[in-house]
Structure 1
Amino acid sequence: MKSKLFVPASRPELFEKAMASEADAISFDLEDAVAPDRKPEARALLADWLARRAAAVPAAAHPKKIIVRINAADTPWYADDLAALGRLPVDLLNVPKTEDADAVRRAIEQATAAGFRGGFLVNVETPRGLARAAGLAAAHERVRGLQLGLADLFEPLGIERYAPETLRPVLLAVRLAAGAAGKYALDAAYPRVQDPEGFRAEARLSRSLGLLGKSCIHPSQVAIANEVFGFSSEEIEHARRVVAESRARPGVGAFLLDGRMIDAPFVRRARDVLLAAGAG
């Protein structure tokens, strides 16, 4: 998921446009993007659209992941979100405001009881959640990754949102927490829609720290995310050679390739590159 495009669930006129975009994943938002008095309507609109689209378009006909960000477990809309979406074709439920592993497991149990069989993307967007991020990632095998939310994390504490020296340790902490459980991490949204170079710089920082992709709140950001988090032909070819050399040397723990020492971590990364690039 190089790019994950947010779409308010209260804006059905945007649904098909989003699906026609170049984003790898579409994240339909029932939480922050929807006013409280419109949440039941938005839920019904999204559920109806997902059901109708599933009947008309086989899942194999489009490569995009379908994500739904539901409302938090302590809100009056949470149970109805699960009931409406549990049996619909959703790849990932994005669970916000999560702060401990027990809460993640409860959410998964409740969603499963409602009929949901997909994966979970767990938000890290509070100081307590950040401190416990490794536990969130490891809470359950159906957690696929961690999603960073910077507005909720920084704004209440008066922390500068756009300073690289502020972002770097948080991004790295979330990536390492996810990596400890063998999961991926996704970067937060970038609110300054009219600042493409700022988006690009933040995306480059995220990629340098091993994050998988970035959330987008406007279609204009998608192409930048796809470019920054994509892999060049040279990177893919190098990964192929690393994997091929590893297979050609069974029982050899380390070997030289183009003057560089290659051992198990580099081989594992090369396989991940080929998988992410669809070139495996």
Structure 2
Amino acid sequence: MSELAYTPRRSVLYMPSSNARALEKAKTLPVDALILDLEDAVAPADKPAARDAACAAVASGEYGERELTIRVNAIGTQWHDDDMAAVAQAGPAGVVVPKVSSADEVRRLVAALEAAGAPEGTRLWAMVETPTAVLDVREIARASDRLAALVIGSNDLVKELRADHVPGRAPLLTALSWSLLAAREAGVAILDGVYNDVRDAEGFRAECEQGRDLGFDGKTLVHPGQVEVCNEVFAPSAEAVEDAKGVLAAWEDGAGSGVVTYGGKMVEQLHVDVAQRVLATHEVISARG
């Protein structure tokens, strides 16, 4: 698969679809994408009403440029089939499915969406949150052209590994890196997991910076107060933009010379590719305001 054109997914906020106030507030948040949740954040008795509310939100047209997705309940639960049928008809940008564990499940999910009449623009987002999923993530990422993103479910993954949430996330680094390799090979987006302590601003920023440095496209969030820091960290800095412009200018000035330097460093085609990606990302983000 070829690499997808850049879509801003720096900040991707989970919102409980059973909470009308939360859905209304989401219309005003500077978030790139929303995951309207039917799963963990919704009590069993509230799930049918939450499903209706999420589908109505998608149909409302009131969320501007924010990418709207809906997280359905997991395969095998009593709500999953009804969720998939209703969400397919609503036609969000993405259908987020928890605990996807195999390429075959991806293909079955895509078949279910298509059978229920999902529009072409409705893509699948597969959550990677079990050891089985991590070990099979390369096949999951390549299973269908309708798969647009992998989403790390870090809380479940920590639980399944019998690990701990620690600064630096050493217990998760193998799973994070392996999932990133799979996403980049397949040309799909990949989103980092959530940071649970909404009061720990310093720890949150550090984990955003780690995710950015590893190569994630953005981060899933559990609180609106995390959005602005996430947007800042996952966007090219002013310094990075100016550096990218300098690299491209030096490359153009040195065309045909065989050796080009900028800032005392050698510039090769790979550096040009990186600079072009930085500027393209900056332009898309700037256009969104």
TM-score higher than 0.5 here?
yes
Secondary structure at 1:278's aligned position in 2?
A: helix
After TM superposition, the structure 1 = structure 2 runs for residues 122-271 of structure 1, keeping only pairs within 5 Å, are 122-164=126-168, 165-243=170-248, 255-271=260-276
Q: 1:75 to 1:196 in 2, by over 3 A?
A: same
Which amino acid letter does the alignment assign opposite residue 146 of structure 1? L
Question: Larger deviation: 161-170 or 250-259?
Answer: 250-259
**Match for 2:123 among 116, 119, 125?**
119
Structure 2 unaligned segments of length 5 or more: list them: 1-8
1:23 counterpart residue number: 31
Question: Which gives a bigger RCO, structure 1 or 2 (Cα 8 Å, sep 6+)?
Answer: 2
- Conserved in 2, the CA contact under 8 Å of 1:19 and 1:26? no
- Deviation per CA, 1:4-49, whole angstroms, max 9, x where unpaired? 1110111122112112101111110111111222211210122233
Question: Larger deviation: 260-269 or 5-14?
Answer: 260-269
**Match for 2:278 among 267, 273, 279?**
273
- Conserved in 2, the CA contact under 8 Å of 1:9 and 1:43? yes
Q: 1:134 to 1:270 in 2, by over 3 A?
A: farther
- Distance in 1 separating the partners of 2:171 and 2:256: 44
**Match for 1:99 among 76, 98, 101?**
101
1:85 counterpart residue number: 87
Secondary structure at 2:75's aligned position in 1?
A: coil
After TM superposition, the structure 1 = structure 2 runs for residues 65-76 of structure 1, keeping only pairs within 5 Å, are 65-76=67-78
Which amino acid letter does the alignment assign opposite residue 140 of structure 1? S
1:14 counterpart residue number: 22
Shift of 1:171: 2.2
TM-score by length of 1: 0.89
Q: 1:242 to 1:152 in 2, by over 3 A?
A: same
- Deviation per CA, 1:219-273, whole angstroms, max 9, x where unpaired? 1111111121121122123223444555677789874333323334333322332
- Deviation per CA, 1:83-117, whole angstroms, max 9, x where unpaired? 21213241111121111111111111211221222
Q: 1:251 to 1:154 in 2, by over 3 A?
A: farther
**Match for 1:48 among 56, 59, 82?**
56
Structure 1 unaligned segments of length 5 or more: list them: none
- Distance in 1 separating the partners of 2:256 and 2:107: 40
Which amino acid letter does the alignment assign opposite residue 139 of structure 1? A
- Conserved in 1, the CA contact under 8 Å of 2:33 and 2:67? yes
Q: 1:71 to 1:251 in 2, by over 3 A?
A: farther
Q: When the two structures are aligned, how many residues end up with a matched partner?
A: 274
- Distance in 2 separating the partners of 1:96 and 1:216: 16
TM-score by length of 2: 0.86
